[in-house]
Amino acid sequence: MPGQWRAAVTGAGSGVGREIALQLARQNWSLALADNNYAALLDTQSRCAATTEIARATHVDVAIRAEINAWAASSRNELGGLDAVFNVAGVLYSGDVMHTPPNDFDLIMATNFESVVNSSRAFLPDILKSRRGRIVNVSSAFGVVSAPGYSAYSASKFAVRGFTEALNQELRMASRTARATCVIPGGLKTSIARTARAAPGVEQGRTAELFDSRIARTAPEDAARRIIAGAWKGKSQVTIGQDARLLDMTSRVLGPHYTQILPAIQALRRH
């Protein structure tokens, strides 16, 4: 990438967020990094500092709007503006509607969706001023199709996708260069399942084992590379993994009828 660019990355302490930060650092981007796990974030900062001059680490709980706003303001002052923001931070949650406590649902929405809205808004003036501004928001394959037992998570990720698609249209009307990209990843080989939250009664360890052994397929290094390349090209959507592409195609072909598949399979198993 030509010249000196500046990016903010949430969820930079691990997984895809960390890989995005490391890959941008190797391209000499100046970075403002945020995560709720400060020890892990400092490790990412140290790695980035080996290849770029500025890698700023800030402890941020993305579920709290005031912390995002303060981080955006201090990052702007230190870096002199931002050219891109990667909203990667999020948490997986399993639990059906009946057994998901209201406070859990609120927390998942605040962490996965409201944080994306708040960060996008906080950095929007910088993105519009940049000669090639980018806002990159990570949704999920469960933001394309829903699944039983993941109502809160799916709700948050569907919301991210809808918000980002609307934002991208607004950016296209307001600017010749600024764009928003929605990322649709499938199963990633990260710690997301092991650090997930769950409703009371859900066997979280079993769920994590199933995810890691059967669902996680894409390495975070590959995902980060595709995300950065797609965002730089101004793509509206970047779909990561064969599983995510299959689910995206299923939703397009079947429409809302896809919701009949899993209940039908479950019914057959009972007989």
231/236 Cα distance (integer angstroms): 8
Rounded to 5 degrees, what angle do the CA atoms 135, 188, 71 make? 35
Q: Which residues touch 54 (CB under 8 Å, ≥6 apart)?
A: 30, 31, 78, 79
Q: What is the DSSP letter of 83?
A: S
- The residue-averaged pLDDT of 82-89 equals 98
**Mean predicted lDDT score pLDDT of the chain:** 91
**Considering just the CA atoms, what is the radius of gyration of the chain in Å?**
18
Is the residue at 183 inside a domain? yes
Is the residue at 1 inside a domain? no
29/82 Cα distance (integer angstroms): 10
SS3 content of the chain, % helix, strand, coil (to 5): 55, 15, 30
pLDDT band per the 50, 70, 90 thresholds, residue 187: confident
Query: 92-123, pLDDT tens digit by residue?
Result: 999 999 999 999 999 999 999 999 999 999 99
Is the residue at 148 inside a domain? yes
Range of the domain at 192: 6-270
Catalytic residue among 38, 93, 150, 153: 153
The alpha helices in the chain, defined as continuous H runs, are 15-26, 38-49, 65-79, 102-108, 115-129, 151-174, 204-210, 220-232, 242-254, 261-270
Global pTM reads: 0.91
- The helix-helix angle for 65-79 and 115-129 (nearest 10°) equals 20
Say yes or no to pLDDT of 252 above 70: yes
Q: What is the DSSP letter of 238?
A: E
- The SS3 of residue 99 is coil
Say yes or no to pLDDT of 265 above 70: yes
Is the residue at 44 inside a domain? yes
Is the residue at 12 inside a domain? yes
Assigned token pair, 165: 């698609």
Q: What is the DSSP letter of 68?
A: H
Q: Residue 206, Cβ neighbours under 10 Å: how many?
A: 9
Q: What size, in residues, is the chain? A: 271
pLDDT band per the 50, 70, 90 thresholds, residue 1: very low
Q: What is the DSSP letter of 14?
A: S
| pLDDT number for residue 212 | 58
- The residue-averaged pLDDT of 80-102 equals 95
Question: Which domain CATH number covers 240?
Answer: 3.40.50.720
Say yes or no to pLDDT of 3 above 70: no
Of 136, 113, 130, the residue nearest 79 (C-alpha): 130
153 catalytic? Reply is yes
Assigned token pair, 101: 């406590």
Q: Quote the number of domains for the chain.
A: 1
- The residue-averaged pLDDT of 26-47 equals 97
- The residue-averaged pLDDT of 257-264 equals 88
- The residue-averaged pLDDT of 147-176 equals 96
